[in-house]
Amino acid sequence: MSKEIRIQCLVPDLPAPADTLPYLEEMYSNRWYSNFGPLVRRFESDILSFLQEHNGAQDCFVGTFSSATTALELVLKAIHLPKGSRVLVPALTFPATALAVLNVGMIPVLADVAPESWELTPEIAENALSEKAISVVMPVAAFGKPVDSAGWAAFQQKTGVPVVLDAAAALGQQDILGELIYCFSLHATKPFGVGEGGLLVTGNEDLVIETKSLSNFGFQGPAGVVREIGTNAKFGEYYAAVGLAQIGRWQEVMDRRTAVLDQYKAGLHRAGNSVSLQQGTGNFIPAVFPVYAKGRAKALEEKLADAGIHTRRWYLPPLYEHPGLKGMEGVVNLEPASFPVCEDLKESLLGLPFHGFLTAEDTAEISNIVAEETA
Ligand X SMILES: Cc1ncc(COP(=O)(O)O)c(C=O)c1O
Positions in the binding site for ligand X (CB under 6 A): 67-69, 93-94, 96-97, 140, 166, 168-169, 185, 187, 198
Q: What is the closest distance, in whole angstroms, from the C-beta atom of residue 111 to ligand X in the complex?
A: 15
Nearer to ligand X, 93 or 367 (CB): 93
Q: What is the closest distance, in whole angstroms, from the C-beta atom of residue 66 to ligand X in the complex?
A: 8
Q: What is the closest distance, in whole angstroms, from the C-beta atom of residue 94 to ligand X in the complex?
A: 4
Nearer to ligand X, 197 or 230 (CB): 197
Whole-number Å distance between alpha carbons of 249 and 215? 28
Nearer to ligand X, 134 or 168 (CB): 168
The full 3-state SS of the chain, as one line of letters, equals CCCCCCECCCCCCCCCHHHHHHHHHHHHHHCCCCCCCHHHHHHHHHHHHHHHHHHCCCCCEEEEECCHHHHHHHHHHHCCCCCCCEEEEECCCCCHHHHHHHHCCCEEEEECCCCCCCCCCHHHHHHHHCCCCCCEECCECHHHCCCCHHHHHHHHHHHCCCEEEECCCCCCCCCCCCCCEEEEECECCCCCCCECCEEEEECCHHHHHHHHHHCECCECCCCCCECCCCCECCCCHHHHHHHHHHHHHHHHHHHHHHHHHHHHHHHHHHHHHHCEECCCECCECCCCEEEECCCCHHHHHHHHHHCCECCECCCCCCHHHCCCCCCCEECCCCCHHHCHHHHHHHHHEEEECCCCCCCHHHHHHHHHHHHHHHC
Nearer to ligand X, 68 or 78 (CB): 68
Nearer to ligand X, 296 or 355 (CB): 355
Nearer to ligand X, 167 or 275 (CB): 167
Q: What is the closest distance, in whole angstroms, from the C-beta atom of residue 25 to ligand X in the complex?
A: 27
Nearer to ligand X, 311 or 367 (CB): 311
Q: What is the closest distance, in whole angstroms, from the C-beta atom of residue 274 to ligand X in the complex?
A: 27
Q: How many CA atoms lie within 13 A of 23 on its CB side?
A: 27
Q: What is the closest distance, in whole angstroms, from the C-beta atom of residue 176 to ligand X in the complex?
A: 17
Whole-number Å distance between alpha carbons of 201 and 177? 9
Nearer to ligand X, 78 or 141 (CB): 141
Nearer to ligand X, 66 or 263 (CB): 66
What are 29-37's contacts with CB under 8 Å, separation 24+? Answer: 30/237, 32/237, 33/236, 33/237, 33/238, 34/234, 34/236, 34/237, 35/216, 35/234, 36/212, 36/216, 36/234, 37/236, 37/237, 37/240
Q: What is the closest distance, in whole angstroms, from the C-beta atom of residue 204 to ligand X in the complex?
A: 21
Pairing of strands 349-352, 181-185: unpaired
Nearer to ligand X, 138 or 370 (CB): 138
